[in-house]
Each structure stands twice: as C-alpha cells, then as structure tokens.
C-alpha cells in the first residue's frame, strides 16, 4: 500500500509518517519506483506509535524502544518494559500532584483562618 493508505489505516498523517522515517522511528520501507510501499507491519507500528504518543510517550522514548529495529519482529519485550516504566513515572507524578493538591487545600484553609499562618513555612 502507498503512504496515503498507510496513513488512513493507521490514523496518522502522511507528514507524520515521513517525520517518523526521517528520525529513524519507522524503518525505511520498500520502494516501487519513486513511491514508498508499506506493509501491514508498518501500519501496526504506526498504530503503536500513535497510541503510545496519546498515552504520554515522547518520540525520543519511542526511538529508544525501537533503536535498531529494521523491520524484523517487533521488539514487544522492550515496549512492555517501557510501558511499565511509564506507568511508574505516572504513579510517582500522581503522588506528587496529590500531595501538592492536599497542601493547596491546607493553604487555602489557613488563609481563611489567618493570612499570616502558612502551613508551607516548613518547606
């Protein structure tokens, strides 16, 4: 299939596909004359990239997952490790944000009682 169909099937754009190729995220594909010809494996990878980005992965992180990938079997084991690491990162951020939220509630309450009494003085 040509790039337009690959974009349509994967839900990405032609521009994105070209960008992924230029940064080495998507391996070079076979050419038929001047046209790139994509297979289902390329479409699957594009779908994975799109999903991963929507879930907070940066392209640099995805490049690390697929470093050295040249169209052979997908490195799913590395993808699972990266997903686990991303989940831990998000959990840690949630903990920090939750703590910050609680501190804001305390701060707001202290402002209602006395503007001089700030519970964050110890920080």
Residue 9: pLDDT band (50, 70, 90) is very high
The pTM (predicted TM-score) of the whole model is 0.72
Instruction: Copy the structure tokens of residue 45.
Output: 């990878």
Q: How many CB atoms lie within 10 A of CB 87?
A: 11
CB 41 within 8 Å of CB 71:
yes
Residue 18: pLDDT band (50, 70, 90) is very high
pLDDT digits (tens, 9 = 90+) for 39-94: 998 999 999 999 999 999 999 989 888 876 666 666 777 788 889 999 999 999 99
- CA 59, CA 65: separation in Å to the nearest integer? 10
- CA 113, CA 107: separation in Å to the nearest integer? 10
């Amino acid at each position: 299939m040509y790039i337009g169909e690959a974009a349509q099937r994967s839900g990405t754009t032609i521009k994105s596909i070209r960008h992924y190729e230029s940064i080495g995220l998507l391996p070079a594909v076979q050419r038929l004359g001047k046209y790139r010809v994509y297979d289902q494996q390329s479409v699957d990878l594009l779908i994975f990239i799109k999903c991963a980005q929507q879930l907070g992965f940066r392209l640099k992180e995805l490049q690390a997952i697929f470093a050295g990938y040249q169209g052979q079997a997908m490195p799913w084991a590395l993808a699972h490790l990266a997903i686990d690491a991303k989940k831990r990162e998000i959990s840690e951020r949630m903990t920090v944000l939750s703590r910050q939220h609680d501190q804001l509630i305390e701060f707001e309450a202290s402002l209602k009682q006395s503007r001089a009494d700030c519970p964050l003085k110890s920080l």
